């Protein structure tokens, strides 16, 4: 049965300012099943003008959303979590079809993503400040935690659901607006899916905007947009250096999670069979396509 979250549903529009719209050029990108190279969907190929429209919407929406009461922001994030759980089977199938994710990969991705949502839902009530003494007599310092502004999220293809969620959910919970640019290889589970799930919540228009497209066409514009205040990127070290450099030119805060190969420490009293199992799992889970392997 086809639902709005099925792979054969409509995924052929950008999500900007609460509306689904075609890219300015009308160009599309094929989404392929990696196991068969069969085309399973098409998504828009956004232009730089589409990117500009997304940032303009995010900048307009931010001020009102940042002033929203903590309970309202918490409620929206919780609504999003329920929408994710209610459609978990379809999401798992999307991960299998779009990125070749196994059953355990899909289950794990949804569990981790749900954990991110649950944690993010606590942020609105934890954004507290303090009064501090001043060196100037008769004065005091008021310290506040405030939303940063527009958060850019550029997510990877290997774990698109939870690695997009890790940045999107807390950014929105804290009162920021978001422009999400998913990987070209996973534009649905890393991007457009978020738009459909948030469309089932009370999130105001413009707080979340999703632009799909080739990095070679719009990547630099996304990373360097003057309306962006934070750039969260997950990917290779080489590309991350480039993205961070572009962000820095606008004094946007770069939040980079780049390639790594972690140590596997085996102590003298370790169970060697379990240590070998752990090393094998850590190296080859999801075909070894893990940035914190």
Query: b/e for 268-289, b at 16 or more Cβ within 10 A?
Result: eeeeeeeeeeeeeeeeeebeee
Judge if pTM exceeds 0.75. Answer: yes
Strands 140-143 and 130-133, by their bridges, are antiparallel
Whether residue 1 is predicted with pLDDT greater than 90 in this model: the reply is no
**pLDDT at site 76:** 98
**pLDDT at site 281:** 87
Residue 291 is among the residues annotated as catalytic for this protein:
yes
**pLDDT at site 162:** 94
Closest CA to 195 of 8, 2, 21: 21
Residue 257 is among the residues annotated as catalytic for this protein:
yes
Question: Over the stretch 43-90, which tens digit does the pLDDT of each residue have?
Answer: 999 999 999 999 999 999 999 999 999 999 999 999 999 999 999 999
Please compute the mean of the pLDDT values over residues 141-153 and round it to a whole number.
Answer: 94
Whether residue 187 is predicted with pLDDT greater than 90 in this model: the reply is yes
**pLDDT at site 25:** 93
- How many residues are given for the chain? 293
Whether residue 286 is predicted with pLDDT greater than 80 in this model: the reply is no
Please compute the mean of the pLDDT values over residues 252-259 and round it to a whole number.
Answer: 93
**pLDDT at site 2:** 74
Whether residue 237 is predicted with pLDDT greater than 70 in this model: the reply is yes
Confidence class for position 292, pLDDT limits 50, 70, 90: low
**pLDDT at site 94:** 96
For CA atoms 12, 14, 19, 22, the dihedral sign is negative
First to last CA, the chain: 37
**pLDDT at site 57:** 98
Confidence class for position 3, pLDDT limits 50, 70, 90: confident
Between 199 and 104, the higher pLDDT residue: 199
Strands 140-143 and 150-154, by their bridges, are unpaired
d(CA 141, CA 131): 6
Mean pLDDT across the chain: 94
For CA atoms 187, 190, 195, 196, the dihedral sign is positive
d(CA 281, CA 270): 17
**pLDDT at site 74:** 98
d(CA 282, CA 133): 49
Please compute the mean of the pLDDT values over residues 237-249 and round it to a whole number.
Answer: 95
Closest CA to 259 of 284, 290, 282, 215: 290
Please compute the mean of the pLDDT values over residues 117-130 and round it to a whole number.
Answer: 95
Between 240 and 260, the higher pLDDT residue: 240
Closest CA to 170 of 77, 289, 96: 77
Range name among 146-160, 200-214, 225-239, 272-286 with the lowest pLDDT average: 272-286
Residue in this structure with the two tokens 């199992």, named with its chain if needed: 277
Give the count of alpha carbons within 13 A of 62, CB side only: 23
């Amino acid at each position: 049965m086809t639902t709005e979250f099925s792979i054969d549903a409509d995924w052929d529009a950008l999500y900007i300012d609460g509306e689904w719209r075609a890219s300015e050029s009308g160009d599309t990108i094929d989404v392929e099943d990696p196991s068969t190279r069969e085309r399973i969907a098409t998504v828009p190929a956004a232009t730089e003008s589409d990117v500009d429209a997304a940032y303009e919407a995010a900048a307009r929406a931010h001020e009102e959303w940042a002033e929203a009461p903590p309970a309202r922001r918490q409620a929206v994030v919780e609504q999003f979590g329920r929408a994710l759980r209610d459609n978990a089977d379809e999401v798992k199938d999307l991960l299998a079809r779009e990125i070749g994710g196994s059953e355990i990969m899909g289950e794990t991705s949804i569990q981790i993503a749900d954990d991110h949502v649950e944690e993010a839902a606590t942020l609105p009530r934890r954004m507290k400040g303090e009064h501090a003494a001043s060196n100037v007599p008769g004065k005091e310092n008021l310290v506040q935690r405030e939303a940063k502004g527009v958060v850019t999220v550029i997510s990877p293809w290997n774990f698109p659901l939870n690695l997009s969620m890790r940045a999107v959910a807390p950014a929105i919970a804290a009162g920021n607006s978001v422009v999400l640019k998913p990987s070209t290889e996973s534009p649905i589970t890393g991007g457009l899916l978020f738009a459909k799930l948030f469309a089932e919540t009370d999130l105001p228009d413009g707080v979340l905007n999703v632009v799909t497209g080739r990095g070679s066409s719009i990547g630099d514009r996304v990373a360097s947009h003057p309306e962006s205040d934070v750039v969260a990127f997950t990917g290779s070290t080489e590309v991350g250096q480039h993205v961070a450099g572009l962000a820095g030119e606008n004094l946007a805060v770069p939040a980079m999670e780049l390639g790594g190969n972690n140590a596997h420490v085996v102590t003298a009293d370790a169970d060697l069979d379990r240590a070998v199992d752990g090393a094998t799992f850590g190296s080859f889970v999801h075909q070894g396509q893990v940035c914190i392997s």
